[in-house]
Structure 1
Amino acid sequence: MGDRIREEATALLATLRAGGLMVATAESCTGGLIVGALTEIAGSSDVVDRGFVTYANEAKTEMLGVPAGLIGQHGAV
């Protein structure tokens, strides 16, 4: 991972910790890179809840609850 991405991910994790927050991601075209950048940092499990990579439209509707009509109308990206 590049230095800039590591710095931003570290800052995000610190902000989440400070606020007592957790994060979950839902990714498609990024293929899990966002949650991967976060979980590569030691100790991230205290604020990273889960990550979904839903590339297929069917997965977006089944796992994330995105209405099929919405995807049909606007596209998935």
Structure 2
Amino acid sequence: MLKIHVINTKTVGGLDAKINALDPSSTGDKIIGEINTPAGWRYAQWDEAGTCRDATDSANLDKTDPKLADVFIMI
């Protein structure tokens, strides 16, 4: 797992999200971070398509966000 400088972004549903690690060798979820839900910040993992594990589609990452371009290249 690679720790990275925190990347603040939004999910496709408008939730605040932070990405703080990448795991390019993982066969599943490669992006690690947190999502700010109505219940507070929670741990989150996304696969290489930006789909959040065990969450609704609103928690998926927006792959068109320019801040995430390098993340998707690295994984």
Q: Output the TM-score relative to the length of structure 2.
A: 0.26
* Structure with more of its chain in strand, by fraction: 2
* Structure with more of its chain in helix, by fraction: 1
Q: Output the TM-score relative to the length of structure 1.
A: 0.26
